Structure 1
């Protein structure tokens, strides 16, 4: 897949924004790709500002609908990159024929794949134990964010990144983690995914464990390729040595 004039739409994860992708954006733009990294709905607010009440009730399909409008306006189908929750959104959009290829990096799992491991429950425990949490927006406290996502980042970078993280929809968390209880939104029909899929895991990921990510890759066989990186965890986009996974993703794209 030649980089010439190809567009990559980069979809960020929970509590984040397009800034998640700074390293990857520079890396892939240097290879000739046009990179777009939109903020999801209500995610362009300062992290220290109280969220809009609407955010708490916003669901995955709301995010997907916004992204689909942007994607359909492009001159051709883009390559989708998605990290964490964004990786699940990339799967949903791929099932809508919105991608010529999709790269799902430490992705959240779709409905049908049980993701509630001990480390996942520990990461979300403070949120899941709040009454009717799925009706409100939430932040992760700093210590829990470090445990869940930032433990492979240098100490000096953790606080700076955390300070940029904002609020996230409780409804989205329920749709991803508690689909067995009837929450809808995370369903993906694998038979409708016809583009090549690259599924990337970090061997030390606590919030989207590699054992879960492997099952995501299995869901899309034979169209999927699985890569797992030792020494990396959830924030693989910014962890020391991030260039190696980025280079292997680039090589996979060029081989398509």
Structure 2
């Protein structure tokens, strides 16, 4: 695994369920223009397929990504990726502050007890949630993406493991975050209600910011670069 050059600040972007590193393309461009060495890898299913992939399989990959960097890094994570990152922090509490300098969580999938108030589980077929097959995102209208971002999302959106999302709902987080943290909560998020993000942030600590957006538009919508800029401003303070 490649590591970021030591003279440049490093940023690791962790994507959400059914997506890939492609969803961070706008953010990576903005961060890169400000001197960050950016990584946005893809989470991969087990060789036996998505239906046999569990939450722990993704968590192990995140462990490799974080420990694979030569020094502290900024971690920016969305949705399921944010929950994975929080679970990694709880599991690796002793070394977390050595590996993560600052943390940004965008519309994170909640842990228990907030997860009990999540919308009903998504329909699955043979252990797979067919997001890619059914083209869940109506990207042009739903998130106001430009043509390039809409096409990237249309091509990149994939199916997801039902097991991963079922196990995500069973995670419990009780350890306060030990690194500076910014929570971004979209006011119009129908996947992760804003109240759940703000409840989790209050329990675990950190600063919070509301966005006038839905679940995915801060990543690929026309305002994505502006949101990335707001995060860079926060990173430059303190």
TM-score bucket (shorter structure): 0.7 to 0.9
Structure 1 stretches of 4+ moved >3 Å: 51-54, 141-147, 154-160
Which among 71, 89, 92 is matched to residue 66 of structure 2?
71
Aligned to 1:210: 194
Unaligned ranges ≥5, structure 1? 43-50, 180-185
Q: Deviations over 1:196-239 (max 9, x none)?
A: 11110111111011111111211212xx0101112x11111111
- Structure 2 residue aligned with 1:126, among 123, 128, 131? 123
Distance 2:55 2:180 in 1: 22
Residue number among 220, 244, 252 corresponding to 2:204 in the alignment: 220
With over 3 angstroms needed to count, the CA separation of the structure-2 counterparts of 1:54 and 1:158, relative to structure 1, is: same
Q: Is the 8 A contact 1:12 1:83 kept in 2?
A: yes
Number of the residue aligned with 1:153 = 144
Bigger drift between 200-209 and 242-251 goes to 242-251
- Give the 3-state SS of the residue equivalent to 2:17 in structure 1: coil
1:196 matched to 2:180? The reply is yes
1:239 and 2:221 correspond: yes
- Corresponding residue for residue 231 of structure 2: 249
Structure 2 length as normaliser, TM-score? 0.83
Distance 2:196 2:60 in 1: 26
CA RMSD of aligned residues (A): 2.6
After superposition, the Cα gap between the structure-2 partners of 1:155 and 1:254, relative to the gap in structure 1 and judged at 3 Å, is closer
The yes-or-no answer on 1:23 pairing with 2:2 is: no
C-alpha contact 1:94 1:102 (8 A) present in aligned 2: no
Q: Structure 1 residue 175: deviation in Å?
A: 1.5
Q: Structure 2 stretches of 5 or more lacking a match?
A: 1-5
Cα-to-partner distance string for 1:46-76 (whole Å, 9 max, x where unaligned):
xxxxx95432232222212122123212211
Query: In the TM superposition, what are the counterparts of 1:110-125 in structure 2 within 5 Å?
Result: 110-114=111-115, 116-117=117-118, 120-121=119-120, 124-125=121-122
Q: Deviations over 1:228-255 (max 9, x none)?
A: 112x111111112122221111111111
Distance 1:33 1:239, change over 3 A: same
Q: Secondary structure at the match of 2:104?
A: strand
Distance in 2 (CA, whole Å) between partners of 1:22 and 1:240 is 13
